Structure 1
Amino acid sequence: MDDENLLTIGALAARTGLSVKTIRFYSDKGIVPATCLSPAGYRLYDVAALARLELVRTLRELDIDLATVRRVLAEETSLAEVAAAHAAALDVQIRALRLRRAVFAAVANRESTPREMDLMHKLVNLSDAERRRLIHDFIDDTFGGVDANPAMVELLRSSMPELPEDATPGQVEAWMALVELVQDNDFRAAVRRMAEYQAAQRADGDTTGLHHDLTETVREDVGRALAAGIAPDSAQGGAIVATLSARYAETFGKADDDRLKSWILERLEIADDRRVTRYWQLVAAINGWPPLPDPEPVFTWFARALRAARAGQA
């Protein structure tokens, strides 16, 4: 072996930037053993040892433990496998850090108390399954045991709030508000009454679904009336009620008469809870969906127009 190509431990330290103490430690542990000893008993290292030490330094800078470093050097595991495992671990850490940052920003925005911050931190660090369980518990409590509209129950279960890995402070705040809402006993009781009303309607033979098209028609027709400044108790308002009543009669297979208008009004009054709209707005915010419009002006106008139409026929 050509001694001129060998490096002393001091020269190796100068080439790698590692301390002599660290190199001696790796050598003693058999991770980067000395290539040979000089006549005076000093450790000498060849180019292969230098390359090995450079790899060890890189792996350790990436926070890979010595046991794994040893397995890589011994070719007991591939560098690709180690890199994949550590990339996955870093993904978890990055997600946790992003959530932590979002929590702190949300706490600052809300001027939260220490207790609220602790609760927020616990809620955002739940697993996806644990977060879904909170919503499923709400659905089970409000719709369980009654024959409510199955399409509504399916919509609720299929529209789970999914807090993203890179959640913004706004999404964290929305998640916190949603948890507070679904755990509110008064809100649960109100939703339960809606479920029981749906069950009573089904017992009377109503097996129709969610009527998205009908709801959209109401929003469009009444929205135009609102934009045009049409009063709900005007002749034009009455004409809009007549058009919409005909659509309800067709959809539900009912006679288009005054009793139908009373029935429509009853449905609107049962569903008239701003917290339901708030629920869907929070889910949309958490999931990054487009903001949901507030339906309250539309259905308030429609209810007033229905009452006016009934009074005119009395």
Structure 2
Amino acid sequence: MDDEKMYPIGDVARRTGLSVSAIRYYADAGVVQPSALTTAGYRLYDIEAIARLELVRTLRDLDAGLDDIRRLLAGQTTLHDLATAHLAVVEREASRLRARRAVLRALVRQHGTAEQAALLHRLVSLSDEERERLIADFWADVSEGLNENPRFVAELNSAPPRLPDEPTPEQLDAWIELAALVSDPQVRSAVRAELNERFTDGPGHLLVSPDALKSYERAAPLLKEAVAAQQAALAPDSSQAQELGDRYLRWLGGMFGTSFDDATSRREIAGGLLLMEPQILADQEREANGPRPTDPYERYQLLVQMVDGTLDANHAELAGYAAANTWLAAVLDPTATAPPE
């Protein structure tokens, strides 16, 4: 294209993909004026004007407004500023569309009513602060009766679900289900009853006692060492592995107030550890390929991981700990076999 040549409006239309009427409209609107007029009054455009019209077409395809385009071409704003402002608008609209799609999908899946539609729309439109309050209120309600151990109660909601700024459709679906779950009085009653049954009396109460929670903190570095050792293929009969196994037994003995140094105890503990890996892997297989758990407490935990987008990472971490347990069993007693189910 000749930089100094003038082009009639028909040629400009073919080069830019704009219609003749659109080019005239942009001229009349003061967006891109013709470079010259023939003696007969026909509009002519030079290469710079054509480039400006191509930019106008691009921006209009992106839904930019004429006022913004006019300001850009007049040098009153920059393309970066215009694109940044328009991107924010598009992202807000995309977020609304994702939320609307999640609500519609839930209504189709549940054969929902008008009342459910209103509820689902409200739940998906909550702000971050409102979502956190909803979850906090759920745990304040269901932890009733567990107040003898404030730390355990606090840790129940120590990691509330975080819906990302740009959630996937699956994360929005999971949030809708989670929000409906924690808002259901019957679910709250069931979870409250389950927590109290598990942790108010007997062994369950001891497992979440303040001393037990502190003991778990002490065990965490040991288990991470075991994971690293298993992944590094450290021989179970090596001196380093045996030293780690001895520390694990001392921790376990401190937790239960006894000693596990004898061969029988080591064999029994090793047998228990051997059961963990197949059980964890079976649970993950069922979770991935089977129906979602019906137990409200388990459903809550699963949905939180789906909302956070941490389900796969948590599965990988659990699989690592499961393999480390099997490795620890070989460290404690290489002849141990899992006890019969």
What TM-score comes out, normalization by structure 2 length?
A: 0.55
Inter-CA distance 191–212: structure 2 relative to 1 (3 Å threshold): farther
Partner of 2:78: 78
Inter-CA distance 133–27: structure 2 relative to 1 (3 Å threshold): same
C-alpha separation in 2, matches of 1:210 and 1:279: 22
Partner of 1:208: 211
Q: Give ranges in structure 1 of 5+ residues lacking alignment.
A: 217-246, 255-273, 294-314
Q: Which moved more, 1:68-77 or 1:126-135?
A: 126-135
Counterpart pick for 1:284 among 285, 297, 305? 305
C-alpha separation in 2, matches of 1:32 and 1:112: 52
Partner of 1:67: 67
Q: Is the 8 A contact 1:149 1:209 kept in 2?
A: no
Partner of 1:167: 168
Report the Cα offset of residue 192 of structure 1. Answer: 6.4
Deviations 1:66-105 (A, max 9, x none): 1110121122221122223333333333333334334333
Corresponding letter in the other structure for 1:7: Y
C-alpha separation in 1, matches of 2:169 and 2:29: 46
Inter-CA distance 212–21: structure 2 relative to 1 (3 Å threshold): farther
- Percentage of pairs with the same residue: 43
- The answer to whether 1:126 aligns with 2:123 is no
Q: Is the 8 A contact 1:9 1:43 kept in 2?
A: yes
| Root-mean-square deviation over aligned CA pairs | 4.2
Corresponding letter in the other structure for 1:157: N
Deviations 1:211-267 (A, max 9, x none): 6849x9xxxxxxxxxxxxxxxxxxxxxxxxxxxxxx99954879xxxxxxxxxxxxx
Deviations 1:105-141 (A, max 9, x none): 3333333334324422332232233222211222344
Corresponding letter in the other structure for 1:62: L
Inter-CA distance 249–191: structure 2 relative to 1 (3 Å threshold): farther
C-alpha separation in 2, matches of 1:189 and 1:253: 36
Partner of 2:93: 93
Q: Is the 8 A contact 1:174 1:282 kept in 2?
A: yes
Corresponding letter in the other structure for 2:134: L
C-alpha separation in 2, matches of 1:280 and 1:187: 14
C-alpha separation in 1, matches of 2:180 and 2:215: 28
C-alpha separation in 2, matches of 1:119 and 1:81: 38
C-alpha separation in 1, matches of 2:52 and 2:252: 79
Partner of 1:41, secondary structure, is coil
Q: Give ranges in structure 2 of 5+ residues lacking alignment.
A: 220-250, 259-294, 319-341
Q: Is the 8 A contact 1:35 1:43 kept in 2?
A: yes
Q: Could you say which structure has the larger radius of gyration? A: 1
Partner of 1:49: 49
Q: Is the 8 A contact 2:37 2:44 kept in 1?
A: yes
Q: Which moved more, 1:121-130 or 1:137-146?
A: 137-146
Corresponding letter in the other structure for 1:287: D
Inter-CA distance 110–142: structure 2 relative to 1 (3 Å threshold): closer
Partner of 2:108: 108
Report the Cα offset of residue 186 of structure 1. Answer: 4.9
Q: Which moved more, 1:138-147 or 1:122-131?
A: 138-147
Inter-CA distance 20–167: structure 2 relative to 1 (3 Å threshold): closer
Q: Is the 8 A contact 1:135 1:160 kept in 2?
A: yes
Partner of 2:18: 18
Q: Is the 8 A contact 1:142 1:192 kept in 2?
A: yes
What TM-score comes out, normalization by structure 1 length?
A: 0.59
Q: Is the 8 A contact 1:99 1:167 kept in 2?
A: no
Between the two proteins, the alignment pairs up a number of residues equal to 237
Partner of 1:9: 9
Partner of 2:183: 183
